[in-house]
Structure 1
Amino acid sequence: MHPHPQQEGIWLRFLSGPDVEELGIGQAEIIDAVEQVVAAHGRGETVFEPRTHLVPDNGGIGHFNVLRGHVATLGEHGVSGVKVVGDFVPNFQLGLPSELALLTLYDPTTGVPRAIIDATFITEARTGAMTAVGARHLARPDAGILGHVGARGTAFSNVTMLDALFELDEIRVTSRRPESREAFADQLRAATDTPVRVVDTAAEAFDGADILVEATRLTEPSPLLHPGLVKPGAFVVPYGTISAVSEDLLDVMDKVVVDDWREARSGRFGALRHHVDTGKLSSETLYAELGAVVSGQKPGREKPQERILLWHRGLSILDVAVGHLILERAERGEVGTMLRYR
């Protein structure tokens, strides 16, 4: 199972979903790994390629995202990685997560593959961690009400990681299907003492909230998140694949931050795709990339009344950073299956 270092051939480590679970990586560790790689991105210590899409001829039920990145600050020589993640909304009908992912990690000095990892958990956790890192720098420190729309895979990480960083008074949740929002609320109540309230509409979840997270699974664009719901001082995170954002939302924002401007401009999908395509969001109206804020090059929140929006598409370098954290832990604990490559 675990070849001796002198054994012939090249071997790589396969980490299944249960292997990753067994390692018990904590949320705080994931948030730290994500914050460090976002700062590295701000300092230019990553090589980052915008995602590409593979859209099979399958009647529009889903597509694949291909993410590629390199982080120079990990390990001895840095780590390169490629993640393929499906986005298949009807998967719940089959009892499957809508986003199933596979990550491969490589030695950037030789091209030798180091690991194949079930990245379904990584995708969910790094997305929640990005929301949390953004909130740490851009939300009001005294934020008390979180409104979360959507019960997709990343929702649990979004809410629980934010709950760990802020002294929340209330968590409001809703989603399109009543059964999924109730199940999500039950899952949250088992994980936190913060009161969780299920509401029927996005407007009820968002109205007057201090942190607004839009993680819907729309099939057609619909303006669920609009200026009337965003109070002064609010922090807004929209990242539905199909936009749930009104055309005039950015009119009330004091600062708009993205994870990566090249990523924001690429691809066919994303919450603010229309705003980029029509020029409402441009290099002139953009305040900063989050890396510039986290690395200290630009201030984050400067005034309590500022309305700030963070649009994060999900960066490949986050997957590489969290994947590397998992791989190092697995190597130390000899977890996983060694596969002969050649």
Structure 2
Amino acid sequence: MHASAPRRPLWLRFLSGPDIEELGITSGEVIDAVEGVVAAHGRGETVFEPRVHLVPDNGGAGHFNVLRGHVSSLGDHGVSGVKVVGDFHPNYRLGLPSELALLTLYDPATGVPQAVIDATFVTEARTGAMTAVGARHLARPGSRVLGHAGARGTAFSNVTMLDSLFDLDEIRVTSKRPESREEFARRLAEHTDTPVRVTDSVAEAFDGADILVEATRLTEPAPLLHPGLVKSGAFVVPYGTVSAVSHDLLDTVDKVVVDDWREARSGRFGALRHHVDTGRLSADTLHAELGDILTGRRPGREDERERILLWHRGLSILDVAVGHLVLERARSADAGTLLRYR
């Protein structure tokens, strides 16, 4: 009989929200991580599965998204990860974020867990970074006015990261609740010198804007974003869970880009769910996935007059990439708590 090898202890690193805040990760670092993994996806260096949903019997209070992905280009032999994130819109009444998440990272060669991470920051930052990366490649470089609908957690990263990339003259913000949009504007004003204007309606925020970001928290579909608000040359990013996009918006859009076409077709939620389900958006009418544009396989903006729409649903590989960034920084700083796994 062969003697079995002595069992060595296995440890994983737990990183709480406060642990991550102390790491000092910058917006620029997150944008670079997201841009890198989107390009890797375009080169086929990822293993990606569309999200699945768990909808509890909770009276419609919210649901969970389960995201799974692997990025071969990270670390010595890649990193795999699974994130579970809740989407609970009434959480503001309890003083909680609407999106709370946990990310687990794994060694793909052995299956050994590497980390358990509070992924609330990861979710917010990677979403804003995806908006920014899309804008970097698809918006007009001379864009001056940003209109943003929605004031949830990801909204701050959307606005501040776009503000870091463009020489904006004005940021317009709105949301359903007056107190929410006013507080959002106050928070933004503490982080940017760009004038921030609060509007009473989505139409006022979007009308004539160069970059339009729709991140509303609707409970029922409503056509808040429609062709009359999208001027020539605009870049449009709708990604609310429940659609705020009119059925005819794509009739006036020159190019539709998605983060991943399989993801766009999956699930029961999403800004363009109706457009996919009815065939208004199909493999034939889709211009490209963003990774194809970053790798040069498909053109991005070719004309200043083009109206371009990016629909990104939040890819698991973004969570893996930003989570890996967080974990590597934490290892260098010896941050977090080591937990005995077995």
2:70 aligned partner, one-letter code: H
Q: Report the Cα distance in structure 1 between the residues aligned to 2:295 and 2:215, rounded to whole angstroms.
A: 27
SS in 1 for 2:158: helix
Task: Please list every run of 5 or more consecutive structure 2 residues that lacks an aligned counterpart in the other structure.
Answer: 1-5
1:108-151 deviation per Cα after TM superposition (whole angstroms, max 9, x unaligned): 00000000000000000000000000000000000000000000
The alignment covers a number of residue pairs equal to 337
Q: Report the Cα distance in structure 1 between the residues aligned to 2:7 and 2:28, rounded to whole angstroms.
A: 37
Instruction: Determine what percentage of the aligned residue pairs are the same residue.
Output: 80
- CA gap of 1:7–1:95, structure 2 versus 1, over 3 A, is farther
Residue 256 of structure 2: aligned partner: 256
Give the alignment of 1:25-174 within 5 angstroms.
25-174=25-174
Q: Report the Cα distance in structure 1 between the residues aligned to 2:92 and 2:198, rounded to whole angstroms.
A: 20
Residue 266 of structure 2: aligned partner: 266
1:180-226 deviation per Cα after TM superposition (whole angstroms, max 9, x unaligned): 00000000000000000000000000000000000000000000000
CA RMSD of aligned residues (A): 0.9
Q: Report the Cα distance in structure 1 between the residues aligned to 2:193 and 2:203, rounded to whole angstroms.
A: 24
Residue 229 of structure 1: aligned partner: 229
Q: Report the Cα distance in structure 1 between the residues aligned to 2:240 and 2:326, rounded to whole angstroms.
A: 27
1:55 aligned partner, one-letter code: V
SS in 2 for 1:154: helix
Give the alignment of 1:186-265 within 5 angstroms.
186-265=186-265
2:231 aligned partner, one-letter code: K
1:144-199 deviation per Cα after TM superposition (whole angstroms, max 9, x unaligned): 00000000100000000000000000000000000000000000000000000000
Residue 306 of structure 1: aligned partner: 306
User: 1:298 deviation in Å?
Assistant: 1.2
User: 1:244 deviation in Å?
Assistant: 0.2
1:222-266 deviation per Cα after TM superposition (whole angstroms, max 9, x unaligned): 000000000000000000000000000000010000000000000
Q: Report the Cα distance in structure 1 between the residues aligned to 2:138 and 2:75, rounded to whole angstroms.
A: 30
1:113 aligned partner, one-letter code: P
Please report the TM-score for the alignment, with normalisation by the length of structure 1: 0.98
SS in 2 for 1:37: helix
Q: Report the Cα distance in structure 2 between the residues aligned to 1:62 and 1:95, rounded to whole angstroms.
A: 16
Please report the TM-score for the alignment, with normalisation by the length of structure 2: 0.98
Q: Report the Cα distance in structure 2 between the residues aligned to 1:296 and 1:195, rounded to whole angstroms.
A: 35
Q: Report the Cα distance in structure 2 between the residues aligned to 1:218 and 1:299, rounded to whole angstroms.
A: 33
2:173 aligned partner, one-letter code: V
Residue 3 of structure 2: aligned partner: none
Hey, which bits of structure 1, 4+ residues long, moved more than 2 A? none
Q: Report the Cα distance in structure 1 between the residues aligned to 2:92 and 2:30, rounded to whole angstroms.
A: 26
2:61 aligned partner, one-letter code: I
Residue 288 of structure 2: aligned partner: 288
Give the alignment of 1:180-191 within 5 angstroms.
180-191=180-191
Q: Report the Cα distance in structure 2 between the residues aligned to 1:25 and 1:294, rounded to whole angstroms.
A: 24
User: 1:297 deviation in Å?
Assistant: 1.2
1:92-119 deviation per Cα after TM superposition (whole angstroms, max 9, x unaligned): 0000000000000000000000000000
Residue 3 of structure 1: aligned partner: none
SS in 2 for 1:171: strand
User: 1:7 deviation in Å?
Assistant: 10
SS in 1 for 2:22: helix
Q: Report the Cα distance in structure 2 between the residues aligned to 1:193 and 1:294, rounded to whole angstroms.
A: 30
1:140 aligned partner, one-letter code: R
User: 1:299 deviation in Å?
Assistant: 1.4
User: 1:8 deviation in Å?
Assistant: 3.8
Q: Report the Cα distance in structure 1 between the residues aligned to 2:295 and 2:178, rounded to whole angstroms.
A: 41
